[in-house]
Chains A and B, each alone.
Chain A
Amino acid sequence: MPTATTQTNHVLLEVKNLSKSFRGLMAVQNYHVRLVEGEILGIIGPNGAGKSTVFNLFTGHLRPTDGSIEFRNIDITNAPPEEIASLGIGRTFQNIRLFGSMSCLGNVIAALQMKERQNLLEAVLNLSRFREQEKRLESQALALLALFNLQEQVNAPALSLSYGDQRRLEIVRALALNPRLLLLDEPTAGMNPHESAEVIRLIKRIHDDYTLTIIIIEHNMPLVMKVCSRIQVLNYGEIIAEGTPEKVRNDPRVIESYLGRAG
């Protein structure tokens, strides 16, 4: 969309007044965000605060009760997940969702192939264009897997990977979509401090290399503070604080509702 960048000063995502209720339970209330291209936003908050629900609303896996979502100046408020993915939002899931029986390579190629069109007849006849396409997809997938240190496991079924490797594979798969906006839901959950630091380093790196815009949901405060230029704190579905890591860290309401409880 050529107009997207010129008119609105590189605003990639504009969310207004977003709300979601589950049978009366307000999981998200009046959520809003304006995301500028290249930003890394952190979303933190206690369990059940509505963080994952926000992601599910962004990607069309849930329909909002109220509010609007614009991505690249296109209204995606009620769009289905497939359409939102093709517009350029990639994501990972808090409870990892890989294609378990497929190899790591297969998982990544399944995402990479979405930007290529294959013709059934060419595939069946195994024509050279098809074979070249497959080869290209494979080498691109291998490069991405190597970036996340998964080169040893390329042919292993996704389900056989360790927990940390599964999380990283899911990031690679989302990255393989070549998205404009990447949503990471607790990318370091269940990892040891060493692994977490490594993943955060990689997230920073892909942010720089691919000029990505990223939103991270994360419980690990020091890590969020390290990568994010801006942080939103959610509690009971509402934004209770927002700003730079310094500002958020010293906000009395954040300390009371979240940091205090976390110890």
Chain B
Amino acid sequence: MKQDRSTTIVSLAGIGLAFLALWLLHAFGGYYIERIVIGVGINLILVISLNLANGFTGLFSLGHIGFMAIGAYASAILTLPLSLKSTNLPDLPSFLARTQMAFLPAVLIGGLIAMLVAFLIGLSLMRLTGPYISVATMGFLVIVQVVLTNWDSMTRGARTFAGVPEYTNVWNVWIWAMLVLYIVWRIKFSSFGRKMMAARDNEIAARSLGINVVASRLLAFCLSAFFTGVAGALWAHFITAFSPKSFYFSQTFSVVTMLVVGGLGSLSGSVVGVMLITLLSEILRNAERGFAIGPLVIPEVYGASQVIMAILFVLFIVFRPRGLLGDAELDVRKFFKREKEVAG
């Protein structure tokens, strides 16, 4: 828990290395790699903010992708070129039909709307516990889905929302990802994080210390929704065309897998989880097109990668329910220290 200068230096060095790696990938990696790197950045934001809500407070939300959808649609509507608005979204309210916003304010507004919605539903949801919160938030996900598919004038309903300006790139995504990681990290090691985790570990004891359990959960939920909304907006400007179905159970499952594999409560775990699952799913996705090992020919089986991921997730839950790291953080200094001791 100690935060001293060497930690800061190590984190700065880590961030520097990350951006150097990004630059190398950007310069030499080509289109395919670049897409993956952006995807990893967006998933980092999604998983870290889900960790803030689910890992720190222990209330397992399954509805966060609803906030992602809100951020995505909000930012997409705000930035869509006016010419496209008149053809694709002819029934927009006039003040929206006349505005075309820049990238950053649109992303921020997307996040803020998600946060506002989180606040309104959180006021009652944050009083629930355990499985009830998961079921209730999943209900929220379904409601968002229904609203998106029926609100034709804003979302084009179930049809594809296309033509979103492609603003997202490696740089702005990773700046956001680092920012979110940093903010959530600071929260974890502050009185706010301790309140959240205390209430998670023992609600009755937390209240006996004077901790306002509902308020601290609401804080986690709202901040988390904001970042998730931001990630949604970044994703919208990355993929440029999507429909409500993009924000449903399979996306929820993907993010939850990354979180659980890394470890609830551990931010370094989230980073590891995102990297690992992305790598694995890319390998599996390429493999399901069929391949040959010497004389052994594996035919193409589309969808196999998802089945394998699901099986892996189940195995993880059974054998390592607290994830790779539990809620501990990787400590680079400790790692080096051990090396030195072995050497000496």
Q: Are B201 and A114 in contact (CB under 8 A)?
A: no
Q: Are A114 and B209 in contact (CB under 8 A)?
A: yes
Q: With A97-B202, A101-B327 known to touch, is A81 a contact of B208 (CB < 8 Å)? A: yes
Q: With A61-B204, A100-B202, A123-B186 known to touch, is A134 a contact of B3 (CB < 8 Å)? A: yes
Stretch of B83-91, B167-175, B190-198, B278-286 with 4 or more beta carbons under 8 angstroms from chain A = B190-198
Q: Are B209 and A123 in contact (CB under 8 A)?
A: no
Q: Are A110 and B198 in contact (CB under 8 A)?
A: yes
Q: Are A109 and B205 in contact (CB under 8 A)?
A: no
Q: Are B190 and A99 in contact (CB under 8 A)?
A: no
Contact with B along A112-125 (1 / 0, CB 8 A): 01101010100111
Tell me the bound Cα distance from A100 to B200 in angstroms.
10
B251 interface residue per 8 A CB criterion: no
Q: With A93-B205, A99-B197, A99-B198 known to touch, is A106 a contact of B1 (CB < 8 Å)? A: yes
Closest partner residue, chain B, to A158 (CB atom) = B201
Return B97 CB to nearest CB of chain A, in Å: 37
- CB interface residues, B 192-220, toward A, < 8 Å: 192, 194-195, 197-198, 201-202, 204-213, 219
Return B11 CB to nearest CB of chain A, in Å: 11
- Which residues of chain A are near B187, meaning CB under 8 Å? 120, 123-124
B296 interface residue per 8 A CB criterion: no
Contact with A along B162-192 (1 / 0, CB 8 A): 0000000000000000000011001101111
Q: Are B207 and A99 in contact (CB under 8 A)?
A: no
Instruction: Give the interface SS of chain B, mostly helix, strand, loop or mixed.
Output: helix
B244 interface residue per 8 A CB criterion: no
Closest partner residue, chain B, to A81 (CB atom) = B207
Contact with B along A65-98 (1 / 0, CB 8 A): 0000000000000001111011000110100011
A232 interface residue per 8 A CB criterion: no
- Which residues of chain A are near B207, meaning CB under 8 Å? 61, 80-82, 85
- Which residues of chain B are near A59, meaning CB under 8 Å? 208
- CB interface residues, A 18-51, toward B, < 8 Å: none
B111 interface residue per 8 A CB criterion: no
Return A228 CB to nearest CB of chain B, in Å: 23
B110 interface residue per 8 A CB criterion: no
- Which residues of chain A are near B219, meaning CB under 8 Å? 120
A234 interface residue per 8 A CB criterion: no
A199 interface residue per 8 A CB criterion: no
Closest partner residue, chain B, to A123 (CB atom) = B190
- Which residues of chain B are near A90, meaning CB under 8 Å? 208-209
User: Lowest 9 A-B CB distances belong to which pairs?
Assistant: A85-B210, A123-B190, A97-B205, A99-B201, A81-B207, A113-B191, A86-B210, A118-B191, A110-B198
22 sampled A-B residue pairs with Cβ under 8 A: A61-B208, A80-B207, A81-B208, A82-B212, A93-B205, A98-B201, A99-B205, A101-B197, A101-B201, A101-B326, A110-B209, A110-B211, A114-B209, A116-B191, A120-B187, A123-B187, A123-B191, A124-B186, A124-B187, A130-B190, A131-B3, A177-B210
17 new A-B contacts, CB < 8 A, other than A61-B204, A93-B208, are A61-B207, A81-B204, A82-B207, A82-B213, A85-B210, A100-B202, A101-B201, A101-B265, A105-B1, A106-B197, A110-B194, A114-B210, A118-B190, A120-B192, A126-B186, A134-B190, A155-B1
